[in-house]
Structures are given as C-alpha cells and as structure tokens.
C-alpha cells in the first residue's frame, strides 16, 4: 500500500482489537503488532501508534486523549490567528501614527 493510504476507523479498531486479544500468545506486544500488521497489510509502526492511542484513550497508558489532542490543536490554531491579527494591528497602528506625524509636520 502506498504512503497516502487511509484506513477506516473500523479497520483500525479491528486491528487494535486483534493485537490486544492475541498479545498474550506472543513474546511481546511488538511481536503481536508485527504479526497482525503483516496480515492486514499496514506497517507495524502504524499499528503500534494505533495501539498506543487506544491504550491512552482507555487509560491504560498515560498521555493525551484524542479529545485533548483536538482541543490543543484548536487552541494552537487560534493562538496563531491571534498573533497574526495582533501583528497586523501593530503595523496598522504604526502606519497611521506615522501618517499623523507626517500630516502635522507639513
């Protein structure tokens, strides 16, 4: 599969479920991930990330949940927009201040 292939949420859930179900039969969780990934046709690293995300959301592992990730991204986007707006306002204020000084000087 090429790099731009997207997997449906159902496929992700099923793959994570398979890893969690069958990891007891392997020496490590990574061995289970490699085995399941080869059967599904995705990379082991992709599946590992899905498993870590699922474990984080279930509270098994520490880390941000997807809701928190989404909120953080939205706040960062808003922060960037506000910084851009502040910069525009700062430049406009400087421009009009200079224009006022030029008008008074003549």
**CA dihedral (83, 84, 87, 88) positive or negative:** negative
**Residue 9 CA from chain centroid, whole number:** 15
- pTM of the predicted structure, to 2 decimals: 0.55
d(CA 27, CA 73): 37
pLDDT per residue of the chain (106 residues) written in tens, 0 to 9? 455 568 888 999 999 999 999 889 999 999 999 999 999 889 999 999 999 988 887 777 766 667 788 899 999 999 999 999 999 999 999 999 999 888 887 6
- Residue that has been written with the tokens 């859930």 in this structure: 13
d(CA 51, CA 16): 5
Tokens found for residue 90: 């700062």
């Amino acid at each position: 599969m090429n790099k731009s292939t997207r997997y449906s949420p159902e496929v992700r859930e099923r793959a994570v479920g398979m890893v969690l179900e069958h990891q007891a039969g392997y020496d490590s969780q990574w061995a289970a991930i490699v085995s399941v990934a080869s059967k599904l046709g995705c990379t082991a690293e992709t599946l590992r990330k899905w498993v870590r995300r699922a474990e984080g959301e279930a509270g098994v592992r520490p880390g941000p949940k997807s809701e928190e990730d989404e909120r953080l991204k939205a706040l960062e986007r808003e922060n960037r927009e506000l910084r851009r707006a502040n910069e525009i306002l700062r430049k406009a204020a400087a421009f009009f201040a200079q224009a006022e000084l030029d008008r008074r000087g003549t």
